[in-house]
Structure 1
Amino acid sequence: MRSWRLPRRAAPILLAVLALVLLDRVTDRVVVRVVLADLDATSRSAAMLRVAVLRAEVEKQRSLPVILAQDPDLQRALETLEDGRLRALDRKLERLATGTRTAVIYALDLSGMAVAASNWREPTSFVGIDYAFRPYFRDALAAGMAEHFALGTVSNRPGLYLSRRLDGPAGPVGVIVIKAEFAEVEEAWARLPEPVLTTDAQGIVTVTSVPDWHFRVTRPLPPESRRSIRESLQFGDTPLAELSLEQASSVGGRTVTRIGGVPAALAGPFLAVTEKVPDMAWHLTLLAPLRPALEPVRITARLAVLALGAAGIGLLAWLRGRRRRARAERAREQALRLELEARVGARTAELRAANESLRAEAEERLRAEATVHRMRDELGQANRLAVLGQITASVAHEINQPLAAIRTFADNAAVLAGRGDVAAARKGLETIAALTERIGAITGELRGFARKASAGEGPVGLRTAIDGALLLLGHRLRQQGIAVEVLVAGDPLVRAERVRLEQVLVNLLGNAIEALQDRPDGRIRLEAGASGNRLRLAVADNGPGLAETVRAALFMPFTTTKSAGLGLGLVISREILAGFGGTLEAPPCESGACFVLELEKAG
């Protein structure tokens, strides 16, 4: 007879199923314990909050009898029992009950008869009703004060009666009673999902969020207690039915409560939390429903863990298959590796040769770029020298005028010195010194412009560069009567090299001067403005302007509108500004020509 053996492939599947079942059970236990612990903590906080609300309502009413016991009008009315005083007391108590939102306030004489009440106008007025049978009257006369929860014999509404004895010079004169009702508190509790009930010292439900639970008993009442309750009409003729809070079972290490004798919707199960109401013989019990708190989390957690478990089992199966495939792959790779090593050897030799070729090309490219930079600098220098040749006559005229004036003032100074007029001679010499300074400024600017620019960049004052360019071109501007308007606030710093920047400005201003040579009202405008961390300078004239076809190709080499021009000035100027990180554009203008150069701010 052959023994039965589990198929080899079925064993992993059976183990996976058993692992999932065990994981599900463990997860369910952990989730139940965690959720119930959280529900217990939350429910206790909610119960303490409801206790605080109930206590605040009671404390608000407790202070009223103490204050009224000292009221002289109330004391005199109970001493004399005069009808006029009692009716005035009715109105006073009515105003007080409305202002304090108290259900009813009434005064009892020594026989227990209600002689004044805040509800004296209503059909259910307490005036004229004997309350000597109520414990709150008897206890207040005996002990000075009393508290008693009961069902109203006239209003048929439950409430907490707070009473206090009034003493006159000759002894007690009566009792003042405040009735506090909890309808608003119960309505607020009813809007929340957890049923709430308070019980007195005998286990009778007093205040609750479920109306049907009023005056139901949570534990058996002794016969003498039932008889006393009936005689005092504390709860009227209510049957005092049982409300059984059954400790049904233990879930997650905690006792679960079910309620007997109620509809299934209110039966539970609940997690019951009980807190004592301070300064009262009451206890508040909050019943937190288990199913809404537990079941969604329970199901979600179990599904999540089962999904993770299934994913883990799938991952293990995939890893097992991958390991088998890896072994086969390693065998193939071993064969391919030998072939690859042979190919790599051959390819390495080819790459080495290619690398040597690329290195030689890179060195040649670096040499070519150095040559380009050198030629660009030389071209810029040639442009400056060409411009310098154009402005030589202007500079010579600028120098001849001060030289002629110096000769005149020197001759005059010699004559004045011979006459002994030292003050006049000194003034002439001071004028000669000022004229030599002007000649020095002109020649210094000319010498700096002719000098080959350094490679270094740094902060350059834009207004300083503009003034230098205008100094070189001053004679030509005055000769043609061209007005120059410079709108530059202060001397803003830009990142540039001064000689090259002046070269660009001389090129742009020289072009504008040539464009205005036939206009009697020539005008050039230089205006600077900030744009973020960059500075824009617009150079505009009121000349004939640029044709659209010319403007489109303006920055291409050998494009020019001059008969003797080479068309390289603007190209070189743009290249110079690009080296500073700047730009040069020729946007369309309503009249004349306009060039806009933009540079980075240096400060």
Structure 2
Amino acid sequence: MPAEVTTETAGPGRSGRGRWTGRTILGWSLVVAVGLALAGLAYWWAQRITVARLQDSGAQRLEVYAVSLENLLSKYDFLPSTLELSDDVVDLLQKPEDPALLAAVNHHLERLNKQAGSTSIYVSDLHGITLAASNWREPGSFVGDNVAFRPYVRDALRGKPAGFYGVGTSLREPGYFFAHGIYRNGRMLGVATVKVNIEKLEQTWIQGNDKVLLSDEHGVIFLTSVPAWKYTTLAPLSAAVQRELAATRQYFSHALLPLDIHSSPAHEEGVQFVTIRPSASGAGADRSRRMLSQRLSLAPRHWQFIYLSDLSPARSNAQTAFLLACLLEGFLIVLYLYVRQRRRSLRLKLKAREDLQHAYDNLELMVAERTYNLKQMTRNLSDEIAVRQRAEDKLRVTQNELVQAGKMAVLGQMSAGITHELNQPLTALRTMSDNAAVLLDRGRIDDAKANLGVISQIVAQMGTITGQLKAFSRKSAGHMAPVAVQPAIANALFLVQRRLEQEQVAYRLEARHPDAYALCEGNRLEQVLVNLFNNALDAMAGVPARQLTVGIDRQANRVLISVADTGPGIPDEVRAHLFEPFFTTKEQGAGLGLGLAISEGIVVDFGGILRADPAPGGGAVFTIELPISKQGAVHG
């Protein structure tokens, strides 16, 4: 910790005091710099640890998804080759005009498809004409379709068992196609095809804010946990690929537009981040999102699994670590200051006690000497009276020093008294400073000057608060006075005005008694209102219709101030603990749960009540009941 500031001068003038003040400022600067560096290190470490955990979790999920996909496809891989074991199928390929064989094969394929749980099974001749199909009864039957243009049919006709994902041209149902040649005595007679629906896997990929997608060798996304991404591409397709897909009609009538997702260069240990633009984030997105990207290739199908992990937990953990580090540093500084002040107070008390004892010893000595002198010389009575008077003067000075020492002991208590009172002006200063910078950037000089004028007023207000230290001999206590409610609401609303505009929240004032006055402290009342406004805005974050309604009413000798929102409301089980310290329903890192507890304490100090109720039209309404002032009774 930095060295203490001495009050002694070093030689003539005040050069010694200036030198010690400079050293102290340098010491505190180093402490703050080291604390911020450690907090930044905690931020980096927490983010790195969370990203590493997201990597491990994402890799495990990718393995699970890949295994589940392979297990599903392997169940049907053998099925097309088993059709050449059916004599009816082989005979139909040799005698396609036989109606009895056609009926038998259709029924056989229908039964087999039902037993296997596949989408459809059909048999084609060497020209790609479908002779029989499991869906022969349905209006969109494959019977008679020419599928020779499909890659899996062409590969099977060349003697190579094939697999292919595509959208059906008849029913436009996507699926994975298994194709295998049908042989008799070494001669190919036709092709058997089994279509399997793998879309049901998408239902198991929903993992909160994380995203999963599966793309083919061209980068076309055909399976994903985000419906808006389906049949989009990871990058724009070349003209050659577009012609190939059009010829095979793999994705039929889908436009295959590129997904608005941008990848950053890979970092150390293979970490890669991607940025998802609002247009690619799905419905309801209003900002770009940065996510962790992990990939897993599936050979020999040339598919690629991509898992995108939401980085908001990493940011939240890093911010929490940074805040905790800053709080720990602040606690250590306050502890150091407390110990230093405690030691200084003890030294002053010991010094005062020694001075008193010394004065007492001197007094006893003077009394003894005076008694002796009275016995010896009564004629020196006037001198003895003078000596006694001087002794009494010294005793009085010592007693005054004791009183002053007691006042100095109170300074440690007063330093904590203004900390809470300065929070609201500091918040206002930050808001007005940001607004002034924005207005200057936009060339609105007059508005910026007006903001600076308000900042000057707030600084003057803060000077008034700190001026209380000059009267440290009096106990620091709040002064209750008549406060006009509507101006207090306007002042509190000004602090959240920018957030109202950014989040597009409508504001309405329902003032049945606009000239009501409450008996309280205006500064602390505005603090409570700002807290309630911010809570209402947080509650309406995901609600389409957002309106903040503030009401002013009066009942008997009470002033009622209500703050209502159109959020989801407060459940009964939450309302029972709403005003408990450290109780919060917000996400981790978003709040400490002290705002409502502090606000209730302030209102109770005013002799009022703070309660929460469900709003009639939905949402929640917080009501502040305060004693009405005499001025309010006259004007109300």
TM-score after normalising by structure 1: 0.51
C-alpha change, 1:107 and 1:13, in structure 2 (3 Å) is same
Contact in 2 for aligned 1:55/1:278 (Cα 8 Å) = no
One-letter identity of the residue aligned with 1:77:
L
Asked if 1:123 is matched to 2:144, the reply is: no
| Corresponding residue of 1:104 | 120
Which of 176, 182, 192 does residue 160 from structure 1 map onto?
176
One-letter identity of the residue aligned with 1:321:
Q
Contact in 1 for aligned 2:272/2:294 (Cα 8 Å) = no
| Corresponding residue of 1:270 | 291
One-letter identity of the residue aligned with 2:216:
D
Separation in structure 1 between the aligned mates of residue 87 and residue 260 of structure 2, nearest angstrom: 50
Separation in structure 2 between the aligned mates of residue 255 and residue 92 of structure 1, nearest angstrom: 51
Shift of 1:163: 0.1
Shift of 1:256: 1.6
| Corresponding residue of 1:137 | 153
Larger Rg: 1
Residue 307 of structure 1 aligns to a residue whose secondary structure is: helix
Partner deviation per Cα, 1:17-73 (whole Å, 9 max, x = no partner)? 434432322211111111111111111111111111111111112121233333333
Matches within 5 A, 1:39-58: 39-58=54-73
C-alpha change, 1:132 and 1:327, in structure 2 (3 Å) is same
Shift of 1:334: 11
One-letter identity of the residue aligned with 1:300:
T
| Corresponding residue of 1:218 | 234
Separation in structure 2 between the aligned mates of residue 2 and residue 326 of structure 1, nearest angstrom: 27
C-alpha change, 1:69 and 1:197, in structure 2 (3 Å) is farther
Contact in 2 for aligned 1:51/1:277 (Cα 8 Å) = yes
One-letter identity of the residue aligned with 2:109:
L
Matches within 5 A, 1:75-114: 75-81=90-96, 82-114=98-130
CA RMSD of aligned residues (A): 3.1
C-alpha change, 1:315 and 1:134, in structure 2 (3 Å) is same
Which deviates more from structure 2 when the two are superposed, residues 282-291 or residues 119-128?
A: 119-128
Separation in structure 1 between the aligned mates of residue 144 and residue 208 of structure 2, nearest angstrom: 41
Separation in structure 2 between the aligned mates of residue 283 and residue 249 of structure 1, nearest angstrom: 19
| Corresponding residue of 1:306 | 326
Partner deviation per Cα, 1:531-550 (whole Å, 9 max, x = no partner)? xxxxxxxxxxxxxxxxxxxx
Separation in structure 2 between the aligned mates of residue 303 and residue 226 of structure 1, nearest angstrom: 52
Shift of 1:2: 10
Partner deviation per Cα, 1:192-224 (whole Å, 9 max, x = no partner)? 532111111122212222223233222343322
| Corresponding residue of 1:316 | 336
Matches within 5 A, 1:374-389: none
Separation in structure 1 between the aligned mates of residue 183 and residue 338 of structure 2, nearest angstrom: 92
Matches within 5 A, 1:39-438: 39-81=54-96, 82-169=98-185, 171-190=187-206, 192-248=208-264, 254-260=271-277, 261-263=279-281, 265=285, 267-291=288-312, 293-324=313-344
Residue 162 of structure 1 aligns to a residue whose secondary structure is: strand
Partner deviation per Cα, 1:171-196 (whole Å, 9 max, x = no partner)? 11110001122221012224653211
Residue 106 of structure 2 aligns to a residue whose secondary structure is: helix
C-alpha change, 1:269 and 1:7, in structure 2 (3 Å) is same
Separation in structure 1 between the aligned mates of residue 140 and residue 185 of structure 2, nearest angstrom: 34
Residue 24 of structure 1 aligns to a residue whose secondary structure is: helix
Shift of 1:327: 5.8
C-alpha change, 1:83 and 1:334, in structure 2 (3 Å) is farther
One-letter identity of the residue aligned with 2:174:
P
One-letter identity of the residue aligned with 1:294:
A
Shift of 1:331: 8.3
Separation in structure 1 between the aligned mates of residue 221 and residue 244 of structure 2, nearest angstrom: 17
C-alpha change, 1:135 and 1:252, in structure 2 (3 Å) is closer
One-letter identity of the residue aligned with 1:208:
T
Residue 235 of structure 1 aligns to a residue whose secondary structure is: coil
Separation in structure 2 between the aligned mates of residue 280 and residue 236 of structure 1, nearest angstrom: 20
One-letter identity of the residue aligned with 2:135:
N
Residue 235 of structure 2 aligns to a residue whose secondary structure is: coil
Residue 269 of structure 1 aligns to a residue whose secondary structure is: strand
Separation in structure 1 between the aligned mates of residue 176 and residue 36 of structure 2, nearest angstrom: 56
One-letter identity of the residue aligned with 2:280:
V
Shift of 1:307: 1.9
One-letter identity of the residue aligned with 2:310:
P
Separation in structure 1 between the aligned mates of residue 223 and residue 164 of structure 2, nearest angstrom: 13
Provide structure 2 residue ranges, at least 5 long, that are not aligned to the other structure. Answer: 1-12, 356-636
One-letter identity of the residue aligned with 1:255:
Q
Shift of 1:74: 2.3
Shift of 1:98: 1.9
Separation in structure 2 between the aligned mates of residue 180 and residue 272 of structure 1, nearest angstrom: 29
Partner deviation per Cα, 1:321-349 (whole Å, 9 max, x = no partner)? 344456678889999xxxxxxxxxxxxxx
Partner deviation per Cα, 1:510-550 (whole Å, 9 max, x = no partner)? xxxxxxxxxxxxxxxxxxxxxxxxxxxxxxxxxxxxxxxxx
Residue 270 of structure 1 aligns to a residue whose secondary structure is: strand
Residue 123 of structure 2 aligns to a residue whose secondary structure is: strand
Contact in 1 for aligned 2:45/2:318 (Cα 8 Å) = no
Q: What is the total number of aligned residue pairs between the two structures?
A: 334
C-alpha change, 1:193 and 1:91, in structure 2 (3 Å) is farther
Separation in structure 2 between the aligned mates of residue 289 and residue 298 of structure 1, nearest angstrom: 14
Separation in structure 1 between the aligned mates of residue 200 and residue 29 of structure 2, nearest angstrom: 61
Separation in structure 1 between the aligned mates of residue 330 and residue 84 of structure 2, nearest angstrom: 76
| Corresponding residue of 1:510 | none
Give identity over the alignment, percent: 27
C-alpha change, 1:192 and 1:108, in structure 2 (3 Å) is farther
Separation in structure 1 between the aligned mates of residue 151 and residue 280 of structure 2, nearest angstrom: 32
| Corresponding residue of 1:23 | 38
One-letter identity of the residue aligned with 1:216:
T
Shift of 1:9: 6.7
Separation in structure 2 between the aligned mates of residue 147 and residue 83 of structure 1, nearest angstrom: 31
Shift of 1:112: 0.9
Residue 246 of structure 1 aligns to a residue whose secondary structure is: strand
Separation in structure 1 between the aligned mates of residue 353 and residue 177 of structure 2, nearest angstrom: 95
Separation in structure 1 between the aligned mates of residue 180 and residue 291 of structure 2, nearest angstrom: 40
One-letter identity of the residue aligned with 1:119:
N
Shift of 1:296: 2.7
One-letter identity of the residue aligned with 1:47:
L
Separation in structure 2 between the aligned mates of residue 117 and residue 334 of structure 1, nearest angstrom: 111
